Amino acid sequence: MMISCLAMAAVLAGSVTAQAPNDTYESNPSIYYPRPTEGYFPSPRGAGLGNWSAAYDSARAMVQQLNLLEKVNITTGTGWEYGPCVGNTGAVPRMGIPSLCLQDSPLGVRNADYVSAFPAGMTAAMTWDRTLMRLRGEAMGAEHHGKGVHVQLGPVAGPLGRNAAGGRNWEGFSVDPYLTGAAMYETIIGIQSQGVIACAKHFIGNEQEHFRQMGESNGYHTHKNVTDSISANIDDQTMHELYLWPFAEAVRADVGSFMCSYNQVNNSYACQNAHLLNGLLKDELAFQGFVMTDWGAHHSGVESALAGLDMSMPGDQAFGDGLSFWGGNLTEAVMNGSVPIWRMDDMVTRILAAWYFMGQDDDYPETNFNAWTLTTEGYEFPPTKQGWEKVNEHVNVMADHYKVIRQIGAEANVLLKNVNCTLPFNPSKPLAQIGIFGSDAGPGMYGPNACSDRGCDNGTLAMGWGSGSDNFPYLITPLEAIQERAVQDATVVQWVIDDYAYAQINSTIAQVQDAPSGACLVFANADSGEGYISVDGNEGDRNNLTLWHAGDKLIQTVADQCENTIVVIHGVGAVDMESWIEHENVTAVIFAGLPGQESGNSLVDTLWGVINPSGRLPFSIAKNYEDYGTDVMYEPNFPVPQDNFTECNLIDYRRFLTLNVTPRYWFGEGMSYTTFEYSEFNVANILNTTYAPRPATPTLAFLDESIPARSELYMPTSVSSVSGFIYPYLPSPTAQASSNAAWSNSTWNEAAATTSSSAPALNSGEGMNNFSTFPYSEDGGGVGGNPSLYDVLYNVTFTVTNTGPLYGGIVPQVYYTFDNDDQTFLRGFDKIFLEPGESKEVRIHLTRKDVSRYHGGWVQQSGVVSLRNHAGDKSKFTEWITGGPWYDSTERQRPPQQAKDPESTTGISAFLLLPQRGILVPEPACTGSLNADVVVNQYRPPSKQTSPSSPRRLKLHSTLRQPYSDRLTHSPCRTTLSYGDLYAHIIKETIDSSRTDFEEYGMDDTTLQELMSSWQHKLTQQGVAHFPWDPAPAPVPMPQIPQYGGLPQDPMGGHQRQHHMQIKSDPLALPGDPNAGLQLPGGNGNGGGVYIKSDPDAVPGQSVFDSQNPGGVGGVGGAGLAAMRAAQHIQSMSGSRTSTASPGLMLPQHDGPAPLPPTRSVVSIPAAAAASTLRMPQHDGPPADFDHLGIPQPQIIKPPTSTSDDEDAINSDLDDSDDGGVNSDGENADDDENAQTLWCQYEKVQRTKNKWKCVLKDGVVTIDGKEYVFGRGAGEFEW
């Protein structure tokens, strides 16, 4: 489990900037590095769960018959352009296993002829119609099958759409995880119904194109160079609730393959990130298929294999370089024990299981096209110009798919404005003239396929650019379709499709205005695509949300003169409409998305009412770009760009609802030509079972693990090799000894495996074969997750009636607002078509997962079910439902105890000193970590001879969880109680609940009353509120946020800690380079290690990050500075006691007279604590032999060993001297007005040696003189 959202936000605040100055990077960053990956090894083996049993039986039987070379051949691509498809695996002819053809795209067969150009995924989502989504998948699957494609590289759930300007958002479906999940499920079912393996991509966090690949980014020379791919830094709650959700639905649809993405996630490349692949995907979601790299996203050999990667695509390191991280290197890795043979078998089993699962072993068509040429004949291997032959059969696979394409395009049209029923056009009263304006209405000058991969914006826009594109067989433009329809009505059609020909535009408008009746249709668009193509300076991502080709000016020009101006937008996502949307002459607006080849026909069907528009937006359209809260990082903030997802769940409509921001158009919004009415709304609880434990995973026997002789693994002399082709063979012994230095260094050096490594030590067996040590998730155990997550708990029923004059469709949407933080999520929808006057009962299911939030595990929570027309609809149809109890995932992993632990206590009041600066945040559902000293007033029987006035002091490392109070229906910052009443309520509950314990231990009620009086007195002194016991109210001062102007000066005259970032300059190993060949485990997946050199002479409390720029010049200022000052403050308060401020204590928002601005702060690691707490950045795999790779050995700083004093403290059962920490008056010496304190109750305390596991509840924490309420806390403390 990764760090939680707002805890990470605290760590990252101050280093989060969308843009840095052009002349320098941000210095001394507080970069978030993930926790080490202990336990995410070994990679979970596929077990044939769910529907996969028969396929696994066949695959295992086949793998048993394969030799090592054949296994490696199946897992490694043959190289870029070394096969007919964009990706090709090696074949095993003797066993009838063909070279698998992997081919783009998610909207059709890329780089082929006689294929259809389907609407984009975003456009399919705009229909909100599951049936059409599945039909689209079936049609695409049929075309891929007909071309002999084994794996269609789609559909897309990443990017989800975090950034409105993200270049590839249109390839996916929606910014909402539920809608995207539904579309993924239906599309995959459709594709795989045709026997084609679908591929869910890009897994995961690939939310922008800028800096996704180092070489691509640096090649533009438009910004500072980067040294590695961007890191998407995502907490575990956000990961599960947003970005992982639609991929879970893909797994539930039995998707056969996944593609891992280019970016890093928490500073570990996605394709070698063991937490993602082994932990989330293969364990928690129980994915049964195989994982392939994106093209060029492979960065290591052994490391990626151990982390869960199954297939390298396209096989070579850089396109056409003839080098591979796998191929012969993987063969060598298995031979020397770096990769266990069972892991090799699991890779191949997963690939072949998908092959069998789709029935591709039975008379599947051979690949009959060539992705590198559309001519009939060409080279078999274009890079080497070898094998001239027939490469294209020109098989026509389009069938009648144009019908579903046209229907999707029409039903996807979103009617956003329709003044006085401007639309539809009335055939009985046809318009006299129609004027058409804008290049987006007409054809491109050189045809629809003129630009490679659609990398331009000429003519009407029906598809974005990049590898997610397709060849148009034809493209019906709006101009063409409108003219054809106008013939039936004898309507005059005139047009100007030059966006800048204003004289001609004005003249044409005048003619339309002068006609008896007329309409001016203005067409504009906004384009984007993949990052390897830049169009008009847009490097994949859009530079802004404005319309292209001066579309806003064109609309304004027409609307100023034409009283009936209808605007049609073709776009890749949201666009800025504010300059013209309220113009009185703009009478109708249609957002048409990217409709594919039938674009014009789909639009005409809507304009003339052949199809009543029922499309709904799959995102919101904001009034101001800044309202989205997130943006593309256009300039790198560090050499390894750090993209921190500190907004957590608050993207798009969830952000707007939470911050009370009204967009121009809401997610889910759209109009119809008719009207509808809801009635008889009801929510019925149909199941009351508790969350079931994880089902047991079947254990499959290991296959034959014998290793062949090396002599069997060399390339046969009879084989004439093709230069650049990736083979599975070892190099000949002569080549190894004489010329290939890489091979002489490629064997694993066992001495390099150190006990401090978080990855398994190779050849020792540690972690590689011991599956009992894997931290299996309680939310796993079934395909897509724990089956109990998908239990239907509630049925939502209601009646829909068409109250208008026309047949039409409506999309009722069910939302769930969680009671603890008022965050709202889409949790159900349907598409209902009704005749005028017709009614229909609709039933929508809510599963356990639908009404749960993720807090280290899925936790069912109370909330409100509402039926809405769109996300911002204030529906009168709501019903509150009760969630399950708090269910700590750490508790679920342990069997229930039969007897009470003698070291456990419950219901004991505690007083904690917390030397930790607070963060004021509106989100109460994330976990943070802190270190603190705790003074526990544990009242024991008299035989223990302890005194309540002599508290014992112990070191504490805790994880605080934000409140989930059953007694408060809202978080403290939203309660209707006054602050004073709230505190009084908590004090009374605490005292009342402690009375029994006091009586049990012989304490009378007087002591409790004294404690309560003391507590009340201290609260009054704080002056944070007016309390019931106070004589008169006192004004509450405005909360102040400390401002810091720069980094702290070094009083030691520049003797400072040093922050070194080692970056491998070239990730591609070349022949003869000692770093080439086999990529050893533990090698830095992102090119280098980060270590901090500890300076014993440094001043206590100084930040561990180098401070060379006082005053904030070129350094970390503002909130980043607050972190470093906080570290100093913590250390100074601790005195001689070393305290570690682990990032992330998250506290409820303080309720002052005015809300705080959305400011986040950073908590740095105190200097004196660095030696005991600093952990290395995640590199998913065993450690490399840094010596022989020529890379300095990172310093892994170990915690100090315990002293005899520590042992005495443990052996003495924590009984410190009675006078320790107490002044002459008997009061705690640290208990002054500046103390950081926490009053709460212990619900449970369990001790194991020097570690304590505690559950806290109902407390008030004092941070820098301000008090905050929390309902519950849980954590592990260390003495």
169 residue type, one letter: N
Residue 995 CB coordination number (10 Å): 13
Percent of the chain with pLDDT over 90: 60
- Residue 761 pLDDT grade (very low, low, confident, very high; cuts 50, 70, 90): very low
| Alpha carbon distance 735, 539 (integer Å) | 43
Instruction: Give the closest residue to 120 by CA, choosing from 400, 469, 539, 616.
Output: 469
Length, in residues, of the chain: 1279
Structure confidence at residue 1107 (pLDDT) = 32
Secondary structure (DSSP) of 1200-1237: PPPPHHHHHHHHTTT---TTTTB-TTSSBTT-STT--E
Catalytic residue among 294, 470, 576, 1106: 294
Beta strands in 1137-1265 (DSSP E): 1147-1148, 1237-1248, 1251-1263
| Number of alpha carbons in the 13 Å side-chain half-sphere of residue 790 | 14
Is the distance from CB of 1123 to CB of 1239 less than 8 angstroms? no
Is the distance from CB of 165 to CB of 545 less than 8 angstroms? yes
Which phi and psi angles does 77 have, rounded to 5°?
Answer: -65, 155
Distances (CA, A) of 965 to 266, 1152, 1191, 1269: 32, 21, 52, 11
SS3 content of the chain, % helix, strand, coil (to 5): 25, 20, 55
Structure confidence at residue 499 (pLDDT) = 97
Choose the weakest-confidence range: 731-740, 810-819, 925-934.
925-934
* pLDDT 10s digits, 296-343: 999 999 999 999 999 999 999 999 999 999 999 999 999 999 999 999
Is the distance from CB of 691 to CB of 848 less than 8 angstroms? yes
| Alpha carbon distance 659, 1051 (integer Å) | 43
Q: What is the mean pLDDT of the chain?
A: 77
Is the distance from CB of 214 to CB of 227 less than 8 angstroms? yes
pLDDT at 148 over 60: yes
Structure confidence at residue 7 (pLDDT) = 54
Three-class DSSP category at 99 = coil
Sheet of 257-260: strand order equals 87-88, 101-103, 151-152, 197-203, 257-260, 290-293
pLDDT at 713 over 70: yes
Choose the weakest-confidence range: 429-433, 844-848, 958-962.
958-962
| Alpha carbon distance 354, 137 (integer Å) | 18
pLDDT at 529 over 50: yes
Is the distance from CB of 1117 to CB of 29 less than 8 angstroms? no
Q: Which residue has the higher pLDDT, 150 or 1089?
A: 150
Query: Mean per-residue pLDDT for 602-613?
Result: 97
Is the distance from CB of 4 to CB of 235 less than 8 angstroms? yes
Structure confidence at residue 560 (pLDDT) = 98
Query: Mean per-residue pLDDT for 1047-1062?
Result: 32
Whether the CA torsion 306, 307, 309, 310 is positive or negative: it is positive
Q: Which residue has the higher pLDDT, 930 or 270?
A: 270
CA 220 distance to own-chain centroid: 27
| Alpha carbon distance 261, 531 (integer Å) | 13
Query: Mean per-residue pLDDT for 792-797?
Result: 97
Is the distance from CB of 943 to CB of 982 less than 8 angstroms? no
Three-class DSSP category at 1110 = strand
* pLDDT 10s digits, 13-28: 443 333 333 445 554 4
Is the distance from CB of 968 to CB of 954 less than 8 angstroms? no
Q: Which residue has the higher pLDDT, 700 or 539?
A: 539
H-helix segments, 903-1004: 979-1000
Three-class DSSP category at 318 = coil
Active site residue 294: yes
Distances (CA, A) of 1101 to 636, 758, 1128, 1132: 30, 28, 4, 7
* pLDDT 10s digits, 891-924: 333 223 333 333 332 222 222 222 222 222 222 2
Structure confidence at residue 487 (pLDDT) = 95
The torsion defined by the Cα of 1108, 1112, 1114 and 1118, in degrees rounded to 10, comes to 130
Dmax of the chain from CA atoms?
104
Structure confidence at residue 1028 (pLDDT) = 78
- Residue 1235 pLDDT grade (very low, low, confident, very high; cuts 50, 70, 90): low
Structure confidence at residue 1037 (pLDDT) = 44
> Over the range 268-298, which residues count as b (16 or more CB within 10 Å of their CB) and which as e?
bbbbbbbbbbbbbbbbbbbbbbbbbbbbbbb
Choose the weakest-confidence range: 819-833, 858-872, 938-952, 1246-1260.
938-952
Instruction: Give the closest residue to 882 by CA, choosing from 1012, 793, 954, 963.
Output: 793
> Over the range 714-749, which residues count as b (16 or more CB within 10 Å of their CB) and which as e?
bbeeeeeebebbbbbbbbeeeebeeebbbbebbbbb
CB-based burial label for 41 (10 Å; 0-12, 13-18, 19+): buried
Structure confidence at residue 673 (pLDDT) = 98
Three-class DSSP category at 114 = coil
Three-class DSSP category at 520 = strand
Residues contacting residue 1134 through CB under 8 Å, at least 6 positions apart:
915, 933, 1166
Choose the weakest-confidence range: 625-634, 827-836, 992-1001.
992-1001
Percent of the chain with pLDDT over 70: 68
104 residue type, one letter: D
> Over the range 201-227, which residues count as b (16 or more CB within 10 Å of their CB) and which as e?
bbbbbbbbbbbbbbebbeeeeebbebb
pLDDT at 1129 over 70: no
- 63: left (phi > 0), else alpha (psi -120 to 50), else beta? alpha
- 803: left (phi > 0), else alpha (psi -120 to 50), else beta? alpha
Evaluate the omega torsion of the peptide bond into residue 812 and state whether it is cis, within 30 degrees of 0.
no
User: Pairing between strand 1090-1093 and 1058-1061?
Assistant: antiparallel
* pLDDT 10s digits, 457-500: 999 999 999 999 999 999 999 999 999 999 999 999 999 999 99
Query: Mean per-residue pLDDT for 1040-1066?
Result: 32
pLDDT at 208 over 90: yes
> Over the range 360-397, which residues count as b (16 or more CB within 10 Å of their CB) and which as e?
bbeebeebbbbbbebeeebbbbbbeeeeeeebbbebeb
Distances (CA, A) of 665 to 621, 808, 1022: 5, 21, 45
For the chain, domains (ranges, CATH) are: 44-371 (3.20.20.300), 414-612 (3.40.50.1700), 677-693+778-886 (2.60.40.10), 899-963+979-1025+1202-1278 (no CATH)
